[in-house]
Amino acid sequence: MKPYPKFTRICSIGLYTCLLIGLFAAPLGVISRALDKMPQGELAYVTCSRQNQYQGGDLQRFDLTDGTSHPLTNDGAEYAQPTWSPDGTRLMFRVKIKGENRIQVMDAEGDNRHTLAVGTAPAWSPDGRMIAYAAPLPIKGEQAPRYALYVMDADGQNQTRISGPEFVNVSDPTWSPDGKVILFAARSAEEGGVDLYQIAPDGAAPERLTHSPDVSESHPAFSPDGQWIAFSANDGVFISVYRMAVHGSEPELLTWRGYNVRSFDPTWSPDGQYLAFWMQTIFSHHDDVPPDPEGIYLIKLDGGQPSLIIPNGCDPAWRPSHK
């Protein structure tokens, strides 16, 4: 992977202030019309607030065509990390129950819900037959669990660890469109940095894709054609969404790079033309800059500014095309 491009240090003055005032002071309808055309389809997402944005909220479905949301849960539990089955008929997610993270699945209307495993960050294989996920390792003497990469059958059977001791705290697995590799984020046991890796579903041929000691990458997502990887990158000051070519290229910045915004969780539209992501507000350095609206934004990859579509939403997951 080539180094990250050198960006000019931007703070909330000058052009950046003008951009924020012009974009974020506009009402939601004006911001949404920044897109030439809204794509079709649905997003699953989690309701977020400053109080629960790291714990989880309720699950919802958002219709991009008419801009309406449909609740899927309303029981006060902490839901997060929704992901659709390849055929778009089922939704899988992480829910915290009695302090334990469990992977559950239900149909698209919220019915027929059941538990598959203990763990986080589930991801279906392209053929729908397997699930990759992160699960805690029982390590004596450590209060905080460490997470390894596992795979299981779609019904929760045959749970198998596939990551070795060289990976510490595996997170965010996702499958390549051809199902040949699983992409994930992890710390190196030797170096301690968070980078992106890929591995075969049977645990063979692990490969490091990024090597940036000063930047932690996370939340990777393959484009539908398998040619690009979108991900979040944290350099200790900024957290933004980038994309890079699968075979290595200079990372391309896709979202704002500012002191008071952080961008996470990119998810591709089924046609590969759009990315949805979660933008979180931290604080504003200057009184003349309005508070940035938090929520899920949409960006068209052939150009244009990100547009807010779901205020106070996070963890977006684009529903695959389905009949």
| pLDDT at residue 299 is higher than 60 | yes
Determine phi and psi for 21, rounding to 5 degrees. -65, -45
CA 211 to chain centre: 20
For residues 94 and 101, the answer to whether their CB atoms sit within 8 Å is: yes
**Is residue 309 assigned to a domain?**
no
Lowest model confidence (mean pLDDT) among 21-25, 295-299, 317-321:
21-25
**Is residue 55 assigned to a domain?**
yes
**Is residue 177 assigned to a domain?**
no
Average the pLDDT over 191-213 and give the result.
90
pLDDT of residue 284: 54
pLDDT tier, 26 (very low <50, low <70, confident <90, very high otherwise): very low
**Is residue 6 assigned to a domain?**
no
**Is residue 82 assigned to a domain?**
yes
pLDDT of residue 260: 73
- Output the CA angle 11-217-122, nearest 5 degrees: 130
Range of the domain at 97: 38-116
**Is residue 92 assigned to a domain?**
yes
pLDDT of residue 120: 97
Lowest model confidence (mean pLDDT) among 129-138, 179-188, 291-300:
291-300
d(CA 289, CA 1): 36
- What mean pLDDT value characterizes the chain? 83
| pLDDT at residue 8 is higher than 60 | no
pLDDT of residue 302: 87
> Tokens representing 279?
């933008």
Average the pLDDT over 167-195 and give the result.
91
Residue predicted with more confidence, 22 or 75: 75
| pLDDT at residue 18 is higher than 80 | no
d(CA 72, CA 58): 7
**Is residue 154 assigned to a domain?**
no
Closest to 222 (Cα-Cα) out of 170, 182, 162: 182
| pLDDT at residue 129 is higher than 80 | yes
Q: Model confidence over 223-232: pLDDT tens digits? A: 999 999 999 9
pLDDT of residue 283: 60
pLDDT tier, 47 (very low <50, low <70, confident <90, very high otherwise): very high
| pLDDT at residue 158 is higher than 80 | yes
pLDDT of residue 143: 63
Residue predicted with more confidence, 144 or 300: 300
Count the domains in the chain. 1
| pLDDT at residue 25 is higher than 50 | no
**Is residue 104 assigned to a domain?**
yes
| pLDDT at residue 144 is higher than 70 | no
> Tokens representing 278?
């979660």
Lowest model confidence (mean pLDDT) among 213-217, 218-222, 255-259:
255-259
